Amino acid sequence: MESEEADPHDLPEGTDIGVVGVPFDGGVTRQPGTRYGPEKIRRESGWYARNDGGFNAATGRRVDFGDVSIRDCGDVPLKTTDIKETGEGIRRTVRTVAESSFPVVLGGDHYLTYPSFCGVAEANGERLGMIHLDSHSDVYGSWDLHGDHWHGSPMNLINDTEYGGYETHSMVGLRAREAPDFPEFVEEEGLNVSYARDVDDRGIEACIEDAIEHATARVDSVYLTVDIDVVEPTIAPGTGTPEFGGIDATQLLTAMDRLGECADICAVDLVEVAPRLDSSRMTQRLAAAALSRFLEAKFG
What is the identity of the amino acid at 136? Answer: H
Supply angle C-alpha 163, 168, 169, rounded to 5: 95
Instruction: Compute the distance between CA of residue 172 and CA of residue 179 in angstroms, rounded to an integer.
Output: 17
- Where in the chain are the domains? 4-299
pLDDT for residue 145: 64
Share of the chain residues as helix, strand and coil, in percent rounded to the nearest 5: 40, 20, 40
Per-residue pLDDT band at 138 (split at 50, 70, 90): confident
pLDDT for residue 50: 55
In this prediction, residues 9-18 reach a mean pLDDT of 81
pLDDT per residue over 66-124, tens digit each?
Answer: 788 999 999 999 888 888 899 999 999 999 999 999 999 999 999 999 999 999 999 99
> Is the model's pLDDT at 2 over the cut of 70?
no
Instruction: Compute the distance between CA of residue 267 and CA of residue 264 in angstroms, rounded to an integer.
Output: 9
pTM assigned to the model: 0.93
Residues of the chain with pLDDT > 70, as a percent, come to: 92
Q: At what angle do helices 204-216 and 249-260 cross, to 10 degrees?
A: 40
Task: Mean pLDDT check: name the lowest of 68-72, 189-193, 242-246, 265-269.
Answer: 68-72
Sheet holding 128-133, edge to edge: 4-5, 70-75, 17-22, 102-107, 265-271, 221-227, 128-133, 169-174, 192-195
pLDDT per residue over 260-279, tens digit each?
Answer: 999 999 999 999 999 999 99
CATH number given to 4-299: 3.40.800.10
Is pLDDT larger for residue 4 or for residue 193? 193
